[in-house]
Structure 1
Amino acid sequence: MATHLDLEEQEQIDQLKHFWAQYGNLITWALIVVLGGFAAWNGWNWWQRSQSIKAAALYDEIERAADARDAEKIERALADMKDKFGGTSFAAQGAMLAAQSLFDAGKPDGAKAALSWVADSGSDDSYKAVARLRLAGVHLQAQAYDEALKVLEAPMPEAYAALAADRRGDVLMAQGKADEAKTQYQKAWDAMNERTEYRQLVQVKLAALGVNVAPSPASGVAQ
């Protein structure tokens, strides 16, 4: 009986050896790939968290400099942010905060540079759209109308299409192109949700151009 068991065990061992000889390398490499991928995933997550923490610290520095109205410190902190953490959302947020602070400090060129960077290099489409709208506004205030319209030519997410049309209307009005401005305001009004408060401002702009879009008392449908 013992001999029979020994022979059976030996046969199983021989089968295992044969299996390992045939598939051992494949199994080993598969384990290496799986474990390596797991380690890489953990390493990537750790790196992302580390980058976010460091980027948040630089954002706080920009915020403190903005509160102190220290334009030079804002520009230095923003340069560090773009250089080291340009791919993070903190970089886009920091750049837009810096742009507003620099504009308020009488440095429109610095504001335009910060907004242009977000519009061209931002990692989030929403931030890029907001940056373009604000950049067009800066050009509008500087009476650089062609530059403002050029900024607004870039494709934007659907959620920002109405605001882009409204901003184009403002630029065209400043150029004295009332009919073209009216078309853009109408496009903005049509695209906005009726519960959006900003829609009322667009309605006022249209009314100033002789366009009545107020709901009809009888039908409730926009005229």
Structure 2
Amino acid sequence: MAIDDLLDEHEQSERVRSWLRKNGVSIIAGVAIAIGGIAGWQWWQKEHSNSLAGANVQYQAVLKHLQDKDLEQAAKGVKALDEGKANIYADLAALQLAKAQVEAGKNDLALATLRGIKADPEFQPVIEQRIARLLLATGKYDEASKALGGASDSASLEIQGDVLMAQGKRDDARQQYEKALKTLDVAAPQRRLLETKVMDAGGTVTDAAESV
């Protein structure tokens, strides 16, 4: 091997050692952080999985209380779920509790249960629709309309139509039903019922299909 090659190798080795001396600490720290990140992620997954498993057990307990018509214990179970991390189980349990409360004639409690749900934004419209339907059923028409806000999805428009029909405003109700039918998928199972509501309000399915 030529002397120049040896010198180049020696020089390169020295440069590597020098670079390691300057950057070794940051490299080790980076590796440690990466390892710590992986360990943290694995810990979070385990904790999240355990949390979901625990919430599922609590949710099943709520369903059992509801099956036994023990609304008081079911309400306590919903509260316990609401204080945990797995809010989807809390939301579902609260919806089931509200349904049972309505069936038991406890509409005020059902309203309080529904209004206490802190749902994710994508789940919130379902809660608002349940509230509006309950208010409609109890004759609180103005509150029912306000509960829907400015929602323009098919279900909300249909409920608005139901509110207007209950108030005797058939023409306004028909317009809401027609808008709802316009936004509803042709294969949706609830389409036939909505078409019937359009006709009951004095419209025709053809008019609804052509309306904007």
Say whether the fold is shared (TM-score over 0.5).
yes
1:199 corresponds to which residue?
A: 191
Q: Does residue 212 of structure 1 match 2:204?
A: yes
2:69 corresponds to which residue?
A: 69
1:32 corresponds to which residue?
A: 32
1:89 and 1:124 in contact (8 A); partners too: no
Q: Which amino acid aligns with 2:93?
A: G
1:52 and 1:88 in contact (8 A); partners too: no
Report the Cα distance in structure 1 between the residues aligned to 2:34 and 2:150, rounded to whole angstroms.
43
2:4 corresponds to which residue?
A: none
Q: Does residue 149 of structure 1 match 2:153?
A: no
- Normalised to the residue count of structure 2, the TM-score between the two structures is 0.87
Cα offset for 1:98?
1.0
CA-based RMSD of the aligned residues comes to 2.6
- Segments of structure 1 that go 5 or more residues without pairing to the other structure are 2-6, 216-220
2:171 and 2:202 in contact (8 A); partners too: no
Cα offset for 1:202?
1.2
CA change 1:10–1:186 in 2 (3 A) is: same
1:185 and 1:202 in contact (8 A); partners too: yes
Cα offset for 1:16?
4.2
Q: Does residue 123 of structure 1 match 2:115?
A: no
Cα offset for 1:17?
3.1
Q: Which amino acid aligns with 1:36?
A: G
- Normalised to the residue count of structure 1, the TM-score between the two structures is 0.83
| C-alpha distance after superposition, 1:55-77 (max 9, x if no partner) | 10110011001101111111111
Q: Does residue 100 of structure 1 match 2:108?
A: no
Report the Cα distance in structure 2 between the residues aligned to 1:222 and 1:154, rounded to whole angstroms.
23
For residues 6-25 of structure 1, the aligned pairs below 5 Å read: 14-25=14-25
Report the Cα distance in structure 1 between the residues aligned to 2:196 and 2:99, rounded to whole angstroms.
27
Report the Cα distance in structure 2 between the residues aligned to 1:13 and 1:222, rounded to whole angstroms.
80
SS at match of 1:123: coil
Report the Cα distance in structure 1 between the residues aligned to 2:142 and 2:108, rounded to whole angstroms.
17
1:171 corresponds to which residue?
A: 163
Cα offset for 1:197?
2.5
Cα offset for 1:32?
2.2
Report the Cα distance in structure 2 between the residues aligned to 1:23 and 1:154, rounded to whole angstroms.
59
Report the Cα distance in structure 2 between the residues aligned to 1:190 and 1:123, rounded to whole angstroms.
27
Count of aligned pairs? 208
CA change 1:151–1:128 in 2 (3 A) is: same
Cα offset for 1:190?
0.9
| C-alpha distance after superposition, 1:140-188 (max 9, x if no partner) | 11111111111111557xxxx1011001100111122222211110001
Identical columns (%): 27
Structure 1 window deviating more from structure 2 (59-68 vs 106-115): it is 106-115
| C-alpha distance after superposition, 1:51-99 (max 9, x if no partner) | 10111011001100110111111111111111123x4321111111111
CA change 1:93–1:124 in 2 (3 A) is: farther
